[in-house]
Structure 1
Amino acid sequence: MNATSTAITRRACMGMMLGALVGCRSSAIARVASGPEIAITIDDFNVNAETPHLDADSRNAAILASLRAARLQAAAFVAGKWVDNPEGQQRLALWSEAGHVVANHSYSHWNYPRVDFEAFSADLLRAEAVIAHHPTFSKWFRFPYLKEGATVEQRDRMRAFLKAQGYRMGYVTVDASDWAIDARLRKRLAENPMAPLDNYRNFYVEHIWERTQFYDGLARQVLNRPVRHTLLIHHNLLNALFLSDVLQMYAQRGWRVIDAQAAFQDPVFASEPDVLPAGESIIWALAKESGKHTGVLRYPAEDEAYERGRMDELGL
């Protein structure tokens, strides 16, 4: 090989290395630029309930419309008792038709620590029989109230049962109390159908943001990395009215809302924290297991009591 050829070869190699380096940096920049990520997961699915302001069909349609406008596919963790009727099945079918994951939240929505294993496991399978025919059904399970067991035997027996049935855990990373705000909202509208709603919207959006910041910060401390988050909210009037505001808030603050299927690929969802009582956000449980964050962990992790003072102050 002559000097000219050698020089050309060296320049080509340098170019390749430089291109690879730039490519790596570009990928890193793209990851940073995309921002933190979160998916929407919705629990319970009392789709037939009548509420002030919106009837059942309108409420269901409004939540679906917010997700459709954002081009998102959520995960619907369905308590079978709410959809074990023709109307409920029709309303849930709209979710599956739109591509949202349909997943198991038990049939009776029992608090597992208060129910024996045999009854609870049978109840879980009863729910599956009600929802499994929907095309987007996936074997993901989420415990009602996020309570996974009060004893080692209760916790581990259910974990083994779920694995034997082919289920994955549909853990929450960002827990919140939208249900408590929804209760206040419905009470106010029942008293005064023309009541202004701006303060409910504003409080709700900021509540979700505050809890998101808390759990994201905790995740980074415990795992030393960001996670693909899953937000827990409920199929209720509050989200029929204001889910679009929550989605807009995330976009404005640099977060990317992603499909639930993508979020649940994060390795954090394969974790099995060794804590008692078992449950809460998976981030909360991992923080408790570490023994390093006891000063910031409250129990239960989320509850109406924590938001009551501020809601009272605002007249909500």
Structure 2
Amino acid sequence: MLRSILILIISLLTIPVANAKQLAITLDDAPRKADGYFDGPTRAKTLIENLEKHKIGQVTFFATTQSLNQEGLERIGTYNKAGHIIGNHTHSHPNFLETELSVYQSDFLQAHHLLQQFDNFKPYFRFPYLREGETIEKRDGMRNLLQKNNYQNAYITLNNYDWYIEELFQAAVKVGKPVDMERLSKFYVDVLMASINYYDDMASKYLGRSPKHVLLLHEMDITALFIGDLARRLQREGWEIISLQEAYQDPIAKYQLDQPIKYNPGRIGEIALAKGQKKNLWHYTLDESYLEKRFNQEVLLMSDH
């Protein structure tokens, strides 16, 4: 009898975990320019400390190898040694819309060879700007090259403009505008959660379920500062953070959009587009003027306060 009660209690305790929505965290553009609020080593140290403090687990950094000077090498080395995955984000971050296929392929391969030095390098490729080729020739040319080199297309499902929040923050720091860091954290987390929930709702509409998601972030100062605050909010709202490898076990990892598109909203947006949704494939928070207005209102400390 006691055994049965214990089993029942254990099963009840595990239900929330089993039903948790799941996402993997990825950070693009590493080692990204760092000459504002933090320098590169301080950003890396802060980010690693907050990932460990909040028990976030393994994340994936997508590296652009043209930034691997001595400091950049050390920064990626820090992430690598901490057990995080290093993926390919090209050598020079080209815009595929403005780049010939052969040039783009060479850029990808250059990064591929340079990234072999990291023990935790894995063959995941994140297209810069999420642009996968606007013609059949370019799209299929990269699909074939990825397949030849045993790469996974490192698609995302949860899109946002975190990079623009960083730009607003760094611009304020540069000219000495007072920034309320608590408000900045709240603004950052609120904006990200709004887009996360939007794309999860879109997934439920078209898939009938919440898939294993992939969150797009960037290797930036605000990420280092507030990744723990984001993780706490995710946990409160029923999310579980998983590895990228686990996320790509979801069936949508095998999905491929038939027609080439110029601008890619992410895998969930692709699926919605294929099922007939033409508008609102990007959440309303993915808008620079919207974010700037909220940043000025909610984050900057006004002189008359």
Shorter-chain TM-score above 0.5: yes
Q: 1:281 deviation in Å?
A: 0.8
Of residues 134, 155, 165 in structure 1, which corresponds to 2:149? 165
Of residues 51, 55, 62 in structure 2, which corresponds to 1:77? 62
Deviates more, 1:108-117 or 1:42-51: 42-51
Determine the structure 2 residue equivalent to 1:143.
127
1:245 aligned to 2:229? yes
Of residues 35, 39, 52 in structure 2, which corresponds to 1:50? 35
Question: Is the 1:93–1:134 Cα contact (8 Å) retained in structure 2?
Answer: yes
- Judged with a 3 Å threshold, the aligned counterparts in structure 2 of structure 1 residues 300 and 247 are, in CA distance, closer, same or farther, namely closer
Question: Is the 1:117–1:154 Cα contact (8 Å) retained in structure 2?
Answer: yes
Give the Cα separation in 2 of the matches to 1:114 and 1:303. 22
1:210 aligned to 2:194? yes
What is the one-letter code of the residue matched to 2:164? Answer: A
What is the one-letter code of the residue matched to 1:46? Answer: P
Of residues 70, 75, 86 in structure 2, which corresponds to 1:102? 86
Question: Is the 1:76–1:101 Cα contact (8 Å) retained in structure 2?
Answer: yes
- Judged with a 3 Å threshold, the aligned counterparts in structure 2 of structure 1 residues 159 and 306 are, in CA distance, closer, same or farther, namely farther
Large movers: runs of 4+ above 4 Å: 26-29, 31-34, 298-301
Of residues 16, 20, 23 in structure 2, which corresponds to 1:35? 20
What is the one-letter code of the residue matched to 1:302? Answer: L
| Deviation digits for residues 158-180 of structure 1 (CA, Å, limit 9, x no counterpart) | 11121112111111110111110
Determine the structure 1 residue equivalent to 2:274.
289
Task: List gaps (5 residues or longer) in structure 1.
Answer: 1-18
Of residues 201, 218, 221 in structure 2, which corresponds to 1:234? 218
TM-score (norm 2): 0.88
Task: List gaps (5 residues or longer) in structure 2.
Answer: 301-305
| Deviation digits for residues 203-237 of structure 1 (CA, Å, limit 9, x no counterpart) | 10001100000110111111112111111111111
Question: Secondary structure of the equivalent of 2:129?
Answer: helix
What is the one-letter code of the residue matched to 2:67? Answer: W
| Deviation digits for residues 225-261 of structure 1 (CA, Å, limit 9, x no counterpart) | 2111111111111112111111111112121112222
What is the one-letter code of the residue matched to 2:225? Answer: L
Give the Cα separation in 2 of the matches to 1:168 and 1:266. 13
Question: Is the 1:173–1:282 Cα contact (8 Å) retained in structure 2?
Answer: yes
Q: 1:314 deviation in Å?
A: 3.1
What is the one-letter code of the residue matched to 2:241? Answer: V
Identity of aligned residues (%): 29
What is the one-letter code of the residue matched to 2:78? Answer: L
Question: Secondary structure of the equivalent of 2:90?
Answer: coil
What is the one-letter code of the residue matched to 1:115? Answer: T
Give the Cα separation in 2 of the matches to 1:235 and 1:174. 16
Of residues 260, 267, 277 in structure 1, which corresponds to 2:261? 277
Question: Is the 1:63–1:240 Cα contact (8 Å) retained in structure 2?
Answer: yes
Task: Map residues 179-190 of structure 1 onto 2, 5 A cutoff.
Answer: 179-190=163-174
Question: Secondary structure of the equivalent of 2:93?
Answer: coil
Q: 1:103 deviation in Å?
A: 0.4
Question: Secondary structure of the equivalent of 2:117?
Answer: coil
Determine the structure 1 residue equivalent to 2:238.
254
Considering only CA atoms, is the larger Rg found in Structure 1 or Structure 2? 1
TM-score (norm 1): 0.85
Q: How many residues align?
A: 292
Q: 1:145 deviation in Å?
A: 0.6
Question: Is the 1:34–1:255 Cα contact (8 Å) retained in structure 2?
Answer: no
Question: Is the 1:275–1:288 Cα contact (8 Å) retained in structure 2?
Answer: no
Question: Is the 1:48–1:88 Cα contact (8 Å) retained in structure 2?
Answer: no
Q: 1:34 deviation in Å?
A: 4.5
Question: Is the 1:42–1:77 Cα contact (8 Å) retained in structure 2?
Answer: yes
| C-alpha RMSD over aligned residues | 2.5
Give the Cα separation in 1 of the matches to 2:231 and 2:286. 21
Q: 1:184 deviation in Å?
A: 0.7
Q: 1:49 deviation in Å?
A: 2.2
| Deviation digits for residues 80-112 of structure 1 (CA, Å, limit 9, x no counterpart) | 1112x2221111111111111110000100111
Question: Is the 2:195–2:285 Cα contact (8 Å) retained in structure 1?
Answer: no
Give the Cα separation in 2 of the matches to 1:226 and 1:303. 25
Give the Cα separation in 2 of the matches to 1:206 and 1:118. 41
Q: 1:312 deviation in Å?
A: 4.0
What is the one-letter code of the residue matched to 1:171? Answer: Y
